[in-house]
Amino acid sequence: MHAINFKKYIFQLSLFLFSIIFSFEKNIDNENCLLCHGLPMLSVQNEEGEFRSFEVQSDHYSNSIHRNISCRDCHESINTFPHEQNIEPVNCAKSCHITRPFEMKIFSHKNQEKQHKISDHGFNPKHTIKENAEKPSCKYCHSNKVFDDIEIFNENETSHCANCHTGESLNNVINHIDFHISHRSSENSTEIVELCSSCHDNNSKMIQFDISTSQVEGFNHHFHGKAMRRGLNEVANCADCHSSHLILSKTDPNSSIHEDNILQTCSSNSSCHQNPTLEFSKSAVHSQPTSDNNPLIFYIEWGFILLTAGVMALLFAHILMDVGRYLFDKFNGKNNE
Amino acid sequence: MSRTFLRLTLAQRLQHLFMFVPFIILVVTGFPIKFYDSSFWTVLLNLIGGIENARFIHRIAATIMLIDFIFHVFYIFYNIIINKTPLSKMYLLPNMKDARDIVQNIKYFLFFTDERPKFHKFSYIEKFDYWAVFWGMFIMGGSGLILWFPIFFSQYIPGDFIQIAYIAHSDEALLAFLAIIIWHFYNVHFNPRVWPANKVWYKGTLTEEEMKHEHPLELKEILESEKNND
């Protein structure tokens, strides 16, 4: 019988088991970037005195869509340790070495970037530099959820921030991080509407592009918006009709809401409405009717408001007069009943 | 025991029942959608079990109410064609006396006279209630069906009508609700002459005393016709 070295056996077995256990902890950080970036609240102060967080929470990164991509696959310009302070921003359209399942080709976001470029959110030479900078880039909507929820910044966790940042400045740090984590995309309708509203409900931003903010309010008052507010998550959000990247005006023939494409958008794209008619698809879903853009609906709406107010005023007057006369007679001992 | 007079037949009382029970359910399941920001209606919506239950129950109740309304329309035609009820016996039809009664009642309210108008079977107050529901059935039922089957109706009507139906359904709902809890409830509950409640909706009968107060002309007509038959 072959004699085994029992000590060696135990050592190898436990090494094997440990490696299995630790392999569940998906961590792509083979270059140990988290040595620094794992430090809670790691941040850098810029010339204006603002803080920017550079903390990467490994828990969140390991559960994000990019968990199998190591840091330097996207942060390409980093070649030294410690790295330069000013590094090039990430290029989302870069081809990376991750393929889609069973597809033997390199994956890239180039397609999405191309659509975004020609969409109304892309660079437009007619707009000024400032206006172009106001438009959402890839990272404005997609941010990989590496930041945690604001809820985690409770008193215990911010206690070490308070060592340096006191009063106003502590709030600024928290607000700054809050801003970074609040505009993130996901599949959740509520969050997508919130993301789009973060600009489209902001009049000072929209006025530069001569876009009305009434769509946001209109959406909230309409079928989809109300159902969404009441918890129907499968309801159409902004991106379901306007698409995610190729967002274009309805006058553009490539637009998902162009009258040639809108039927398709209402039905098969999102399998929302079966066999819609053209008239159905033309029905507004977030307009705020005015006397100019839709006088018929505007005046019908006002007609109902006046009807309700008028009828209720007359009924109220009748009731009050009735009670008044009754009480007067009662206290004066008259009986006309 | 004093004599009683039949005011509402069993069929009429059942029509009222099948109108008001769905009405309450429709309000409770519909208003959480109209007032999507209100915390009060959120609590109620959660009690119902969320928006999907509310939508389902709303449509069941609406169907019952519409069937009740269609039954009522048949009931009217049955009375006209089979029972040969003359127009003069269809007491809910508005007439010139209603206009005179309104003027007389307002005069009474404002102390120009001490005499209240004398009503027949239905006063203008009750006629208003009836015709408000009648008109409401077309507005609410029609717009509700358009919203329930928008694609079907869009084959025959312009797309803007879906939005008009949406506005009409929401606004007319508020009007109907207010009319019921203020006007109807005043006249059958809160009015000091009827407080705490007018029980005719389930009893179906009025006493001679009540008839004398509220429907003197009808009482006179009944008593006279009895005298003639003797």
Residue B126 confidence (pLDDT) above 50 = yes
Number of domains in chain A: 1
At B208 the three-state DSSP class reads helix
**A300 within some domain:** yes
At residue A277, what are phi and psi to the nearest 5 degrees? -100, 165
Cis geometry, peptide bond prior to residue A40 (ω within 30 degrees of 0): no
Q: Which residue of A has its CA nearest to B167?
A: A301
Q: A223-246 burial, b for 16+ CB within 10 Å, e for fewer?
A: bbbbbbbbebeebbbbbbbbbbbb
Contacts of residue A249, Cβ cutoff 8 Å, sequence gap at least 6: A120, A255
CA–CA min distance B88, chain A (Å): 27
Q: Are B179 and A303 contacting, i.e. CB atoms less than 8 angstroms apart?
A: no
Neighbours of A112 (CB within 10 A): 16
**A294 within some domain:** yes
DSSP string over A259-313: TTTHHHHHTTTTT-SSS--HHHHHS-SS----TTT-HHHHHHHHHHHHHHHHHHH
Nearest by CB: B151 against A231, A273, A308? A273
Would you place residue B18 in the very low, low, confident or very high pLDDT band (cuts 50, 70, 90)? very high
Whether A35 has its CB under 8 Å from any CB of chain B: the answer is: no
**The amino acid at B111:** F
CA B38: distance to chain centroid?
28
Give the mutation candidate from B51, B148, B153 for the A interface (greatest A CB count, under 10 A). Answer: B51
Mean confidence (pLDDT) of chain A: 78
- The residue with greater pLDDT, A25 or B16, is B16
**The amino acid at A334:** K
Mean pLDDT value of segment B134-152? 94
**A299 within some domain:** yes
Residue A260 confidence (pLDDT) above 80 = yes
pLDDT of A143 reads: 57
Contact A308 B174 (CB under 8 A): yes
Whether A317 has its CB under 8 Å from any CB of chain B: the answer is: no
Whether B159 has its CB under 8 Å from any CB of chain A: the answer is: yes
Task: Write out pLDDT tens, residues B182-198.
Answer: 999 999 988 888 878 88
Residue A241 confidence (pLDDT) above 70 = yes
Calpha distance A139→A75 (Å, rounded): 14
DSSP string over A64-103: STTTTS-HHHHSTT--SSSPPSS-PPP-TTSEESPPPTT-
DSSP string over B121-164: SS-HHHHHHHHHHHHHHHHHHHHHHHHHSHHHHTTTS-THHHHH
Tokens, residue B217: 């002309």
Cα–Cα distance list, B175 to A118, A271, A292, B182, B184 (Å)? 49, 36, 27, 10, 12
Q: Are B160 and A283 contacting, i.e. CB atoms less than 8 angstroms apart?
A: yes
pLDDT of B30 reads: 95
Calpha distance B41→B34 (Å, rounded): 9
Q: From B187, B206, B214, select the one nearest B128 (Cα to Cα).
A: B187
**The amino acid at B161:** F
**A302 within some domain:** yes
Contact A274 B50 (CB under 8 A): no
**A317 within some domain:** yes
Write out the H or E segment, with its range, that includes residue B6: strand B4-6
CA B1: distance to chain centroid?
32
- The residue with greater pLDDT, B66 or B212, is B66
- Where do we find the tokens 């876009």? A211
At residue A51, what are phi and psi to the nearest 5 degrees? -100, 140
Nearest by CB: B109 against A274, A275, A322? A322
Strand partners, A43: A53
Contact A319 B45 (CB under 8 A): no
CB pairs under 8 A between A and B: 114
Lowest mean pLDDT among A151-160, A264-273, A299-308: A151-160
pLDDT of B87 reads: 86
Mean pLDDT value of segment A148-170? 56
Would you place residue A105 in the very low, low, confident or very high pLDDT band (cuts 50, 70, 90)? low
Calpha distance A121→A238 (Å, rounded): 14
Lowest mean pLDDT among A172-186, A315-329, B188-202: A172-186
Structural domain including A325 reads 289-337
Residue A173 confidence (pLDDT) above 70 = no
Q: Are B136 and B172 contacting, i.e. CB atoms less than 8 angstroms apart?
A: yes
Pairing of strands B205-207, A95-96: unpaired
CA–CA min distance A153, chain B (Å): 27
Contacts of residue B181, Cβ cutoff 8 Å, sequence gap at least 6: none
Mean pLDDT value of segment A91-113? 66
Pairing of strands A95-96, A107-108: antiparallel
Give this complex's ipTM. 0.91
Mean pLDDT value of segment B96-117? 93
Q: From A60, A52, A276, A78, select the one nearest A177 (Cα to Cα).
A: A52
**A306 within some domain:** yes
- Where do we find the tokens 């550079």? A54
A244 DSSP 8-state letter? S
